[in-house]
Structure 1
Amino acid sequence: MNYIIGLIKDRNLIFQLAKNDFKVKYLGSYLGMFWAFVNPVILILTYWFVFQIGFRLTPVENVPFVLWLVAGIIPWFFITESITNGTNSIIDYSYLVKKIVFKVSLLPFIKILSTLFIHIIFLIAVIVLFLIYGYGINIYYIQIFYFLVASVILVFGISLITSSLAVFSRDVGQIVGVILQFGFWLTPIFWSFSIVPENIQFWLKLNPVYYIVEGYRNTLIFQKWFWEYPMLSIYYWLVTVFILIIGIIMFKRLKPHFSDVL
């Protein structure tokens, strides 16, 4: 609890450092922030071309495939980027770790907040795309903030674990990348959950990212509230809080050894 209170107290510092991290990431390139969108946009266009133009897939649940795809893949981009950046946060800012006055515990959250800036811009672009297709803004859009908060807490807990381990072994970053690759194909991002046999659906729902992806689709497309799935919501928060607690404990115990290793 003290850890969370500390983040709230240092919110101004966190925001300034996240903004600086965002700027530095694209400093020196002529196109600047544009590069943050290149890979995700190319990936979306590739999937859209292959599955809708090439395989001529019909709309999913009467929804144009491109809308159904972006509604699920946008939160995935944020989650994977946040975990990847959060995992390397201590290593990237090793010069700050050696300064006793600096709160090292802020670093994973700074990386996540920096990634959130891009996600919000992407989210606005997706909403515009939905408007072009005739989907008007409605009251369900309010719960986007709920799923944003849910996503941030989940990736923060994971990043605390991975970032503290990555200091002692650089292989952790590679392992995280492999796990995320598996996670992409096990999450209903470009395939419909309805095609999965019922006896397997339960196991796939154990993936907490499923809750976020389906939450975005329920918000943008199907107009359903998260409390319409009470058991799934309870499960998600139990898992997320558990991961966060484990992350905080692990980070606090390993933090005193960071400067020795770096």
Structure 2
Amino acid sequence: MRLDISPERWEHWQQQGRKILLFAKWELRDQFRNRLLGGAWLFLQPLSYILIFTLVFSHLMNARLQQFDSPYAYSIYLISGMLLWNLMSGVLQRLMNIYPEKAGLIRKVPVSLVLMPLYVPLVELVVFVITWCFFGMFLVAIGYVPTLYWLWLPIIVLLSLMFAYNLGLILGILSVFMPDLRNFIAIILQLAFWATPIVYVKSILPPWVVEWLLLNPFYWGISNMHQIVLQGQAPDISLLLLLFGAGVIMAIVARYLQRQLEKDIRDLL
């Protein structure tokens, strides 16, 4: 089966792609504008994040996981989960307000309401990759050797991003008509953080609570992150399939809402 794309259609997608990259560049630049160290903060913030978590939890608190001898085991567990959580929650929180914040841009520039917000996961992914690089240097410094299962990490990150982006689009579209939804979702995210084994291990939970974790989409990716990075084991494919399926469903719903409500959203903005 041959897929034919007209030159006009191809040019349209190229223009949309260039706009998304331009928006991402503006966003990164605006985050550090008028700061003394400028873009250096893009590296200093992730570095301080890694140093604080490793210092506090591996030395000052002397936190350990019972099944691991390394004093850094809990730091590895905590940071690997927190990085993926920050990526997903950051995308969700940013997309909740994307249309009111960019109302002026939407009125002036002909952009898709589904594609335009793509700059948000791009920016969050840049921060994630930089932080992960510092995390990787920390692992090398303590003599931790990655396994071949680490090749699954980009897949886990992309599936998590797909789910968070499409869910964020749905919430962003609905919040234009229901502003109180933003406050409600902020509370839900706080509950979701503590309902996900990030700062604690699931072994301390009662068996019936562990079963309920399978209903938590954040757990699907973070559990696999722990399994690969700390335990050096293959990911749970069933959880990845759940994450992929949820992302696809969210994408379908987001596209449907965008088609049905785009005119109303533009009128309200």
Give the TM-score normalised by the residue count of structure 2. 0.83
Residue 261 (1) aligns with residue 268 (2): yes
CA contact (8 A) 1:60 1:192 kept: no
Q: Does 1:245 align with 2:252?
A: yes
State whether structure 2 residue 93 is matched by structure 1 residue 84: yes
Quick one: distance in 1 between partners of 2:176 and 2:47?
28
Q: Which of 25, 31, 48 is the equivalent residue of 1:25?
A: 31
Q: Which one-letter code corresponds to 1:241 in the other structure?
A: V
1:35/1:13 CA distance change after superposition, 3 Å: closer
Counterpart of 1:253, as a letter, is Q
CA distance in 2 between counterparts of 1:44 and 1:184 reads: 22
Alpha carbons of 1:219 and 1:37: their partners in 2 closer, same or farther (altered >3 Å)?
farther
1:113 maps to what in 2?
A: 122
Query: Which range is displaced more, 5-14 or 150-159?
Result: 5-14
Q: Which residue in 2 is equivalent to 1:188? A: 197
CA contact (8 A) 1:26 1:32 kept: yes
Of 165, 172, 188 in structure 2, the residue corresponding to residue 156 of structure 1 is: 165
For residues 207 and 67 of structure 1, do their structure 2 counterparts lie closer, same or farther at Cα, with a shift above 3 Å needed?
A: same
Deviation at 1:173, TM superposition (A): 2.1
The normalised TM-score by structure 1 is 0.85
The one-character-per-residue Cα deviations of 1:213-248 (angstroms, maximum 9, x if unpaired) are 12222222222222xx23323322222221221122
**Per-residue deviation, 1:122:** 0.8
Q: Distance in 2 between matches of 1:252 and 1:91?
A: 18
9-18 vs 213-222, which moves further: 9-18
Taking the aligned partners of 1:36 and 1:84, their CA distance within structure 2 comes to 22
Q: How many residues align?
A: 255
Whether the aligned pair in 1 keeps the contact of 2:163 and 2:243 (CA below 8 Å) is no
1:213 corresponds to 2:222: yes
> Equivalent of 1:97, from 81, 84, 106?
106
Gaps of 5+ in 1: none
CA positional deviation for 1:144: 1.5
What 5-or-longer segments of structure 2 have no aligned partner? 1-9
Taking only the aligned residue pairs, the percentage that are identical comes to 19
- Deviation per CA, 1:120-161: give whole Å up to 9, x if none: 101111111111121123322211110121011011111111
